[in-house]
Structure formats: C-alpha cells, structure tokens
Chain A
Amino acid sequence: MSKLGTEQNPVRAAIVGSGPSGFYATEALFRSEPVVLVDMFERLPSPFGLVRSGVAPDHPKLKQPIQVYQRIADTPQFRFFGNVTVGRDISVEQLLACYHVVVFTCGAETDRKLGIAGEDLAGSHTATEFVGWYNGHPDYRDRVFDLSHENAVVIGQGNVAVDVCRILSKTVDELKHTDIAQHALEALAESKIRNVYMIGRRGPAQAKFTHTELRELGELADCDPVVDPNELELNPASRAELEDRSNRVQIKSYEVLKAFASRPPPTRHRRCYIQFLKSPIELKGEGRLQRLVLMRNRLEGEPSHQVAGETGETEELACGVLFRSIGYRGVPIAGVPFDERRGVFPNKDGRIVEGERILPGLYAAGWIKRGPTGIIGTNREDSVATVNSLLADLPSFEATVKPGADGLMAILRERGVRVVSYTDWQQIDAAEVKRGAAVDKPREKFTSVQEMLAVLTAS
C-alpha cells in the first residue's frame, strides 16, 4: 500500500462547517507537506458561516475574508458539499469510513440563557435570532420582532451586542445600500424604538467590545450615545486592570466611553444608553415583556478576576423588546462527545477526546473547539494549531486508501439530498448579486433553502 499523504494515497479530510475556521483549516492542510484532499460539508447551500450571516451588513470590509475563502475553494483539491447535514443526512461513523480525518468547525450556533424568570416571555429574544434575521439566515427569516415600543434592551457588552444596538439605532438610509435582508429593512423602517440600552453586569474596564465597534455608536446619523460619567469611576482593581500592558487595547474602549460621557446633552431622535454594573434578574409583563428588573452590582475580587456581586439594590426599566447577547454554545452532533457545561466538543489541542481517551481521526477547530471568543482572524491561528496536531498524528493513521465523498453519494441520493457543489453555490451567489444590483445593494440574499435551490433548477 502507498504511503499516506502521497499522490497515490492522499489524506482524505472531511471538514464539517464552512465558516472561517473551516476554511483556515483547509488552507493549513493545503499548505502542509502531505497531499491532502478536502471535502467540506455545510448544512446550508451557502458557505462562509458567520462571515456571511454574523458580520453586520454595514461592515462590508469585515466580509472581505470571503475573497480569501473563494481562492481556497478554487484549489483543485477542494470540494464543497452544501445542503448536507452531518449527524442527520450522514453520520459521523459514515464519514470516518470514507475519510482519514474529520475536522469539526461547526461553530457555536446557539445562545446561552440568562436563567431568570420571564426569559421566555414574548418580546425576549436572543441576539443570534436577531442577527440571523437581519442577515437573511434561513433559520431566522420568519422571526418577528416587535419594534413598536420606545425602549429596547440588549443584555451583554461584546461586539455582537454593539452590532445589535447599532442596527436598532441606525436610520433606514444608513442601511439600505448594505446587504441587509429586505424583510429586516422593511421592519426597521417601521421601528418606533427611541432608546436602546446596552447593559453589562460588570464595569467599563471589563466590557468585551472593541473600541472600533464602540466608536461607531458615536458616529450615527440620528442617534446619540449616552454614558453616565458616574458609571465610569473605577475601583482600584479596575484601574490596575486598565494599567496592565496586556490591556493596552481595552483602555481605548474606556477612552471612547469617557468621550461619550463628556458629550453635550443628546439632541438626536434616538439614544443608545451604555450602562454598567447591572444584571437582569426578572423579565415582567402581562402576556408579553413590559418591564425588566435589574440588580445593581459591585465588583469583587482581584484585578482580572473581578466578579459582579449583588448590592441588593434593584430598579425597573420599561422595555418592549430585549435581546440577550451573553455568549454562545455549540450544538451537539450525534457520534461526537459534547461538553455540556462549556458547550464545546471536548478536545486536547484540537484532538477530540472522550474523558481522557483521544478519539482517533476526530478534530475540532474554531468556536466548537475553544468556545466563542476572538474575532475572524483568531480562528486562523486556532485552525493552524489543530492542523498541526493532526499532522503530528499522521504517522499513526492506517494507510488504507479512503474514497472520500464518492463513498457517500449513494447514501445522500437515497435520502434525496440535493447536494450543492461549489459551482452551484457560485450560481446562487451570482443570482444574489444580480438581485442586489437592481436595488442598489451589494447583494440581496436568498433567505430560504428552497429559494437557493430554485436558482439551480431554473438554470
């Protein structure tokens, strides 16, 4: 038998998930010494994960990594299998029969819960739903958000929370030439929201948003940022945190907040209140969300390990719609161990483990490996690390020749799955861009799987 990783017996790799970590893992495999063929599986017909459906429509520059992914996809050793759900259409066991390695890069698709009374009232949502909705993700296109109230609340202070605040605060004119989904643009045009509250349980020194995202809240056409200068007063531990050199980027956010706090009184139609040291403890309302009960917190603990402790002091805030953006969790796939607490696939340096035992051939990269941290580029370093583990393990793999996706086609046909190839996707992509040009947008996304597949039938 030929040595594994040669022209005669290439390493067959299946990548599950087509977001940044999937493409960076593919890139790292192609740049490695052994000959590797990659088949990428994606449950939607469209690739690119959160770069397509997470990055805000008014951040077109942050979508440019797609050009890098397109170049990777153009490599002859790459194949795309869209509209295929691993764990449903094909099992992990079937994948392992056809591939030497399976790398899971399926992200963190669900939200953490607040775990408080009233969380399931109508009007209480996850940021994921809202982001997916305005970005035209098929799973969320039918969601309805009641924007007929004056007050909206976003719980959490990461960049996703800022995105949600910004989209709620922008005018239609600021959004209409982006690739925002048409249904979202129409609903936002009718929005009565005037006050957006972004609330964090800890202080300004601990907020996770980046200063570039934060600064944008001060550059909106018809919305003023409002920060209470009293809330920017730091305790000694927080001051020590900001003075630490490793926080040299974080201090810039604090400076932006200080600039917001020293602005003249707001004059624009909308206001975005950025508030600290408050935790939601109950959502109240008759049949739907009407009020939010907040607990005032104080920070306790050593620098960099401060936690929010309750003061016992509460306040109520009228609110018609609430989005929680307090972190994400991965979704289990049958046949792969799952860490319920962290919401990730348990792994050691990217090697998936069950207890202490390494499961040969199974790897993870990106959010499903380390949890939902970092930005797009963070996943490149992370995927490279996983691929390095994989390459180190290569000599221990059986050198059996594996068929790759050719061994799965019969199963997929039998299940009636319309597999979407990369060429198919390029057709869908071109149709979206064409639809967009007609309405002066970079693209008008198809927001259902049926619509995407219809493009392929029509041609």
Chain B
Amino acid sequence: MTTVVTDNCKRCRFTDCVTVCPVACFHGDEEMLYIDPEVCIDCSACIPKCPVEAIYEDPIPEDKQQWIEINAERAPGLPLIQDKQDPYPGAEERQKELGF
C-alpha cells in the first residue's frame, strides 16, 4: 500500500491534509507536500481533505506512478509539516484552473 501527494498540490499547498494525519508523515518544500512512505499508515484520512484531489492511494493511476518515487525520495529530507499553513500565494486561482 502507498499513499502519495501528486502534481495538483504544486503551487496550491493548502495543507488541510496534515491536520488529520495521525502519524505526522507530511513533509513539504515551498511548492508542495510529500508523504514519507516509511511513516504513513495508509489510513486515507487525508485524501478527502485535499481541495484539489492531489492525494492518491492504491491503486495509483498509471499517469501518477512517478510520484511514488518522488514522495519517497523527497519527503524524508524536508521539514515536517504538522499544522495547517497558509496556502501557496495564488492557490485559489490555481484551484479554479485545475477545475475544482
């Protein structure tokens, strides 16, 4: 089982997901969040919280597969995000652009 953050989070970074994470597995850079697969328990609590549907769980669609490796590689080296933060500047416009 794997749960991953994907491209829709880029320049959105709403961070609602982190508020329901029971194990603190979200890390982030300026642009987006990543899930540390070593810590995540695949409970799916975060998935319905994302306003841009950026989080996927198994079965992860073909066109999102690359994010498994990206999350695993980047998350551990980045700061832990445990509290809701302000979204990325312009996130609302990007949300509309993405069709949500």
Contacts and interface: CB of A to CB of B under 8 A. Distances in A.
Partners in one complex: yes
Chain A contact residues (Cβ within 8 angstroms of B): what range? 20 to 34
B42 A377 contact: no
A249 B42 contact: no
B25 to A, nearest CB: 10
Interface string B16-47: 00011111100000000000000001111111
Contact of A212 (B22, B42, B48): B42
A88 interface: no
A384 B48 CA distance: 19
Interface string A151-172: 0000000000000000000000
A31 B18 CA distance: 15
Contact of B41 (A65, A246, A374, A380): A65
A68 B24 contact: yes
Given A62-B41, A65-B41, A249 B47 contact: yes
B23 A249 contact: no
Contacts of A377: 20-22, 43, 45-46
A426 interface: no
Interface in B46-97: 46-48, 53, 57, 82-83
Interface in A24-40: 31
Contact of B23 (A68, A379, A384): A68
Contacts of B45: 374-378
A375 B48 contact: no
A384 B41 contact: no
Contacts of B24: 68
A249 B48 contact: yes
B42 A20 contact: no
Q: Which among B43, B57, B82 has the highest number of chain A CB atoms within 10 Å? A: B43
Contact of B43 (A246, A248, A375, A384): A375
B19 A62 contact: no
Given A68-B24, A248-B48, A248-B53, A380 B19 contact: yes
Q: Which among A249, A377, A379 has the highest number of chain B CB atoms within 10 Å? A: A377
Nearest to A60: B41
Given A377-B21, A381-B19, A62 B48 contact: no
Nearest to A64: B41
Interface in A230-276: 246, 248-249
Nearest to B47: A249
Contacts of A379: 22
Contacts of A85: none
Contacts of B19: 380-381, 384
Nearest to A65: B22
A306 interface: no
Nearest to B20: A377
Interface of B: 1, 19-24, 41-48, 53, 57, 82-83
